[in-house]
Structure 1
Amino acid sequence: MRKVVHKQALDLIRYLWEQVILLDDETISCQIGKPWPLIFTAAERGNLDFLTILIRLYPDLIFKVDQNTYSIFHIAILNRHEDIFKMIYQIGSIKNVITIYKDGEGNNMLHLAARVLQSPSRLNVIPGAALQLQHELLWFEEVKKVVQPRHIEEKNIHGKTPGALFIEQHKEMMKEGEHWMRDTADSCMLVATLIATVVFAAAFTVPGGNMQDEGTPVFVERIEFKIFAISDAISLVASASSLLTFLSIRTSRYAERDFLWSLPNRLIIGLTTLFISIVAMMVAFVATFFLVFRKNLHQYSIPVAVVASLPVIFFIWQHYRLFLDMINSTYTSRSLFKPGKSPLFSKRVKPKVA
């Protein structure tokens, strides 16, 4: 029902706008309201469908600016609306005209991307300071691809380049992100160390003991023992890898660019190998139980296997949300700025300075 109402509203907007654009430019400006606040309010709120309808029928809207000399793309950057900003990839060389706009303080488009997002509702969508900083860096790097090379090191009236402004604006976020990364790494390092200690000791105290004459394990031929040996080795390697990964996070220099890829990627690898080590350790425990108590306590095999799976389930329940957020923020979010398939214009638009 909601989709039907939304479609009907868009059809009504399209019909009304088709009637408005039949008027002259001055009358159109008066109808919308000087200096074009309607489209800038839509850009601020992220109303992509509304803007698409207006721009397709009246392409000159993309050149309009507000009292701060901000186009709809500048406002989209300030409010971090990816869907609106990536329309800039569909206007071709016209974007070179729009990217030169500056506000009264000499801030270009990249300076705006360097500012910290002010809206709490938009910022809190992303959990954790580290992931928020990663998202801000992703925006900064994306806008850098659009602006002209000379704008990257261009200073505003306060003598600050976009890079310097980004570091200044995100100083507190970087401190919070570093603190969160260190605490997470410390907690996971402790778990990985305990697992590595246990499985390492288990490798030399094999279930059933060894034969006195040859020193080989008593149950070496049994399938349960082979499962135990393989699982124990996997758990040891995975826990050691996890420990070293979290150690690299702990000793990182925590530069702002490390939060874009290096640190989140290490955390994902660390959590993945830690999960593998826990699963392998539980498999080794169940295999040992079947091996040692296969005769006397065989009826308890299923309950023991169920109980052994509880730590794995508990770990997933506690960390799956963090893991999914890290995956989404590190890998999936890189497709946020991929241009849409539907063209913005049905015909070639000629540049026209506002």
Structure 2
Amino acid sequence: MSGRFIFLKKKLDPKAAKLIKRLWKQVIVRNNSKISQFIEKPKDRKLIFVAAEHGNIEFLTILIREYPDLLFEVDENNYTIFHYAVKYRQNDIFKLIHQIGSFKDLIATLKHEKKGNNILHLAGILAPPDRLSIVSGAALQLQRELLWFEEVREIIHPLDAQEKNKKGKTPEVLFSEQHKDLKKEGEKWMKDTANSCMIVATLIATVAFAAAFTIPGGTKQDTGSPNFLLKDSFTIFAIADGASLALSSCSVLTFLSILTSRYAEKDFIWRLPTMLLIGLLTLFLSVVAMMAVFCTTFFIVFDDGKRWCAHLVTGMASGPAILYIILQFRLICDIVSSTYRRWALFKPRKHNFSFKEEKATEPKKEKLLSVIKKFKW
């Protein structure tokens, strides 16, 4: 197994992890200069920054457990592994920042020596395409970018959030400029999705409304009441038809609200995804109710004989509902995960690593001083 493959692979093989632990224990007994030479890579790239860029949390955890100073290593641009985590949207690496105590404040103040970008500016820069594509749809991609920006904002001082880079741009201005095209794509994607779903919901509402006046089995001429009024299947038919009409109408109104939204950046965090989720769920339930209306009609008609025909139709009618779930499952999961479980995206892991200071090469006091000296103000 090549060295490059080991530290770029996010999920390490147990044997590979065991090998890295043994090799690293032999490295840390050397002095700091030898350790620095070991982690250097060609073209002035350090091993830990390449690993952070690719999100290899297992590899970094093994190294950090034995040599905590790696958390505070900076590259030629004065960036730490946390800056790389933000730049390349590696949330597993970024979670470590919540476990380093007061050093978090020091890291948050570091910025690019030439461009003047701090860690929030990096959150304002558009993520690489491979990190954007982990969620479906431009609107949800913009939502993920906004969540990253808000999360990074929480770890820095309010004054740093308004700091300008060398081009005179604050993080918010940089975010708006970098994500201008993605915002347009997100608005178009949301409108196209809402428009298509609204057409389907409108058709279902029309069918449900018409079914209410086309009673299966007809009515009695003298009283006008349905002939099969006392049958349980007729009761299910009436309830399902009313539910289908109500749910499809709610779906239409929800998608109409999406089409008439103002589409501000903040709306993509919670409001628009929530309305889209409500619209999709009510549309699904209206499809199920419509299929129930269709099936109960056969049970009413074939109640006295050939019930196998009604059962066969019921089995076939379940197909559209199952197909809907299959086609929309990924989208619904992304909406729920990004909107209602976003805390899990940046939630610190417990016992992710523990410092083994007794194995460090310097006394604790001298180590802390040496770490502080590494910061360039």
Q: Which moved more, 1:136-145 or 1:293-302?
A: 293-302
After superposition, the Cα gap between the structure-2 partners of 1:102 and 1:5, relative to the gap in structure 1 and judged at 3 Å, is closer
Does residue 331 of structure 2 align to residue 322 of structure 1?
A: yes
Does residue 78 of structure 2 align to residue 69 of structure 1?
A: yes
Give 3-state SS (helix, strand or coil) of 1:61's partner.
helix
Does residue 37 of structure 2 align to residue 30 of structure 1?
A: yes
Q: Do the aligned partners of 2:10 and 2:57 also contact (CA within 8 Å) in 1?
A: no
2:51 to 31, 42, 62: 42
Q: For the residues of structure 2 that align with 1:132 and 1:272, how far apart are their CA atoms?
A: 21
Does residue 29 of structure 2 align to residue 19 of structure 1?
A: no
Does residue 18 of structure 2 align to residue 8 of structure 1?
A: no
Aligned to 1:114: 124
Displacement of 1:325 = 3.0
Runs of 5+ unmatched residues, structure 1: none
Q: For the residues of structure 2 that align with 1:144 and 1:226, how far apart are their CA atoms?
A: 56
Aligned to 1:275: 284
Displacement of 1:124 = 2.4
After superposition, the Cα gap between the structure-2 partners of 1:88 and 1:140, relative to the gap in structure 1 and judged at 3 Å, is same
Q: Which moved more, 1:77-86 or 1:307-316?
A: 307-316
Code of the residue aligned with 2:191 in structure 1: it is R
Code of the residue aligned with 2:18 in structure 1: it is D
For 1:55-134, list aligned pairs within 5 A.
55-103=64-112, 104-118=114-128, 120-134=129-143
Aligned to 2:232: 223
C-alpha deviations, 1:277-331, integer Å up to 9, x for none? 0111111111122213423654421222223223323333332332233333333
C-alpha deviations, 1:150-190, integer Å up to 9, x for none? 11111112111111111100111111111111111011101
Give 3-state SS (helix, strand or coil) of 2:346's partner.
coil
Code of the residue aligned with 2:30 in structure 1: it is L
Displacement of 1:99 = 0.6
Q: Do the aligned partners of 1:241 and 1:273 also contact (CA within 8 Å) in 2?
A: yes
Kindly tell me the number of residue pairs found equivalent between the two proteins: 352
After superposition, the Cα gap between the structure-2 partners of 1:32 and 1:83, relative to the gap in structure 1 and judged at 3 Å, is same
Aligned to 2:153: 144
Aligned to 2:361: none
Aligned to 1:304: 313
Aligned to 2:203: 194
C-alpha deviations, 1:216-259, integer Å up to 9, x for none? 43322210111011111111111111111111111111111211
Q: Do the aligned partners of 1:36 and 1:64 also contact (CA within 8 Å) in 2?
A: no
Aligned-residue sequence identity (percent) comes to: 54
Q: For the residues of structure 2 that align with 1:94 and 1:222, how far apart are their CA atoms?
A: 73
Give 3-state SS (helix, strand or coil) of 1:92's partner.
coil
Q: Which moved more, 1:256-265 or 1:91-100?
A: 256-265
Give 3-state SS (helix, strand or coil) of 2:351's partner.
coil
Give 3-state SS (helix, strand or coil) of 2:13's partner.
helix
Displacement of 1:197 = 1.5
Runs of 5+ unmatched residues, structure 2: 1-8, 358-363
Q: For the residues of structure 1 that align with 2:324 and 2:20, how far apart are their CA atoms?
A: 51
After superposition, the Cα gap between the structure-2 partners of 1:192 and 1:36, relative to the gap in structure 1 and judged at 3 Å, is closer
Q: For the residues of structure 2 that align with 1:216 and 1:278, how far apart are their CA atoms?
A: 28
C-alpha deviations, 1:101-143, integer Å up to 9, x for none? 010211111100010013x333323222122111111111111
Does residue 299 of structure 2 align to residue 290 of structure 1?
A: yes
After superposition, the Cα gap between the structure-2 partners of 1:309 and 1:109, relative to the gap in structure 1 and judged at 3 Å, is same
Q: Give TM-score scaled by structure 1 length.
A: 0.92
Q: Which moved more, 1:108-117 or 1:147-156?
A: 147-156
Give 3-state SS (helix, strand or coil) of 1:99's partner.
helix
Give 3-state SS (helix, strand or coil) of 1:43's partner.
helix
Give 3-state SS (helix, strand or coil) of 1:193's partner.
helix
1:256 to 265, 268, 276: 265
Displacement of 1:215 = 4.2
Displacement of 1:26 = 2.5
Q: Which moved more, 1:286-295 or 1:203-212?
A: 203-212
Displacement of 1:62 = 1.6
Q: Do the aligned partners of 2:91 and 2:346 also contact (CA within 8 Å) in 1?
A: yes
